[in-house]
């Protein structure tokens, strides 16, 4: 079973959004915390049509695997593009050597935006990108914030990492 070791990124997010919120705790089973939630793997529009816009249930992503999953406020964000995704990409061999089966990036974006971003970062071969197209994954883990006032809609409250 997938256990969540959630660590909230500190710093500017705490200043902008106030005090820390409760998240999935150490030892939480993500599949149980977010039952019925599915994500969409990053893909082109044509790939979406070919797969009838299929989604992937969390249980299929995590079952029998050691997975590092990290989340970001959104694709094409500055620090995420320049530092966060490249740090996982550049350390993929070290993670695999420690028994990690896959590294997954999740953001509240559609799979087509994430596909373009992953291609731009040249990270598709190292990292699997999934879109939380309706924010249900983030809502289930209490990682969602409404940034509609900033014209951003519902987003990930902060960056997060889970194992």
> Looking at the annotation, which residues are catalytic?
80
Handedness of CA 86, 90, 94, 100 (dihedral sign): positive
Q: What is the spatial distance between Cα 70 and Cα 84, in angstroms, rounded to a whole number?
A: 9
Q: Are strands 67-72 and 102-107 parallel, antiparallel or unpaired?
A: parallel
Q: Are 41 and 129 in contact (CB under 8 A)?
A: yes
DSSP, residue by residue, 59-73: HHHHTT--EEEEEES
DSSP 148: G
CA-CA-CA-CA torsion sign (76, 163, 160, 157): positive
């Amino acid at each position: 079973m997938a256990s969540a070791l959630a660590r909230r990124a500190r710093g500017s997010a705490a200043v902008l959004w106030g005090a820390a919120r409760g998240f999935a705790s150490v030892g939480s089973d993500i599949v149980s915390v977010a039952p019925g939630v599915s994500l969409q793997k990053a893909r082109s529009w044509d790939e979406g049509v070919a797969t009838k816009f299929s989604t992937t249930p969390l249980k299929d992503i995590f079952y029998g695997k050691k997975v590092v999953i990290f989340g970001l406020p959104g694709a094409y964000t500055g620090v995420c593009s320049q530092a966060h995704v490249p740090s996982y990409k550049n350390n993929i061999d070290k993670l695999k050597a420690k028994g990690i089966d896959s590294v997954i990036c999740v953001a509240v974006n559609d799979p087509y935006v994430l596909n373009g971003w992953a291609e731009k970062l040249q990270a598709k071969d190292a990292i699997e990108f999934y879109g939380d197209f309706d924010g249900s994954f983030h809502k289930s883990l209490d990682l969602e914030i409404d940034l509609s006032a900033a014209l951003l809609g519902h987003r990930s409250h902060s960056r997060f990492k889970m194992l």
